[in-house]
Amino acid sequence: MKKTATRLADGRELIYYDARDDAARETVDLRPLSPVSTASEIRHDPLLGDPVVIASHRQTRTHLPPADACPLCPSREGRRTEIPAADYDVVVFENRFPSLVGDSGRCEVVCFTSDHDASFAGLTEERAALVLEAWTDRTAELSQLPTVEQVFCFENRGEEIGVTLAHPHGQIYGYPFTTPRTELMLRSLAGHRARTGGRNLFDDVVENERADGRRVVLEGEHWTAFVPHAAHWPYEVHLYPRRRVPDLLALDDGARGEFPRVYLELLRRFDRIFGEGEPPTPYISAWHQAPFGGWEGRGVERGDFALHLELFTVRRTSGKLKFLAGSESGMNVFINDVPPETAAERLREVASQ
């Protein structure tokens, strides 16, 4: 992998990740951009203790432009975009409309391919491996920022999810705090350790799912994918490396080498869940990594956390979505219409031949 860092016309950082070591990246951003103006603020809910990001400047962000006006496609004569080059493999750059900025953290965009009409599921294993390298490199870089405590790599796919740009891309958030969802995991982790005389909750969950077998979707030499026993979403898969590690940086060569094949297979199965003729399945794919700070007094150590990826869709059946209504949005009690065992069986049925 070759990494080339540059700056856009307004001073934001952009990084090319190329599979070829001899790739030349000397293109300059010629757009007459004004400096990025943001108004991000983190407030805390006194009842729940949750942080809430107020980012009013995002109201003006680009929303579902036509393909010939996509800001994530390569630049061409007469049409300058966020990526100055005429082609690229993988690109990461600072978001022009960030939710988190400065003392409030950092937001980046990850473009998986220059092909506007592609999807992650359609990438080659080599390209998926390059994306993994980019996620890992950005995790390493962002974790060194004094304002970042947790790094979150994720992809939103589909208008049903709320995607505002159709080009295949994801995002990376560097939070200045440990997120509420991770806080819940850490409390459960510490409680399980205390109750079981030191056993690890993540290890026990994976071992129990493998032993049960009914919800296991896919197993490799280094990865296990399963629908969790208490899945929140109609089709939800958790992907764990066999060897527990706290973050992407700690993955060994075996896990890195096998990941592209396993992950691409999961994404392709998701697109086949609802049968032929259905539009691509909307999904969220999210890496859960251990925070890089704030471990004092938790009752667990950073190495107790288990890196894993959670992949889920809001589509519950053909033409119908799972909406977060009263119970989910009002009380955070999920009601799932699809039994996890049924979801796992379907995801096994649509395996690649």
Q: 166 vs 68, 118, 235, 316, 335, CA distance in Å? A: 11, 10, 22, 22, 30
- CATH T-level assignment (fold) for domain 2-175: HIT family, subunit A (3.30.428)
**Residue 156 pLDDT:** 97
Tell me how long the chain is: 353
Predicted confidence at residue 61, as pLDDT, reads 73
Write down the CATH number for the domain with range 181-349.
Answer: 3.30.428.10
Count of CB atoms situated within 10 Å of the CB of 34: 7
pLDDT of residue 107: 97
Find the DSSP H helices in 12-61. none
Domain residue spans in the chain?
2-175, 181-349
User: 181-349: same fold as 2-175?
Assistant: yes
Q: What is the value of pTM for the model shown?
A: 0.96
Rounded Cα distance between 204 and 69, Å, is 49
Per-residue tokens: 48 = 């729940």
d(CA 104, CA 99): 9
Token duo for residue 162: 């709320």
Per-residue pLDDT 10s for the chain (353 aa) are 999 999 999 999 999 999 999 888 878 999 999 887 787 899 999 999 999 999 887 776 777 889 889 999 999 988 999 999 999 999 999 999 999 988 899 999 999 999 999 999 999 999 999 999 999 999 999 999 999 999 999 999 999 999 999 999 999 999 999 999 999 999 999 999 999 999 999 999 999 999 999 999 999 999 999 999 999 999 999 999 999 999 999 999 999 999 999 999 999 999 999 998 889 999 999 999 999 998 999 999 999 999 999 999 999 999 999 999 999 999 999 999 999 999 999 999 999 97
Among residues 167, 169, 192, 238, the one annotated as catalytic is 169
Q: What pLDDT was estimated at residue 353? A: 76
Residue partners of 197: CB distance under 8 A and separation at least 6: none
Assess whether 169 carries a catalytic annotation: yes
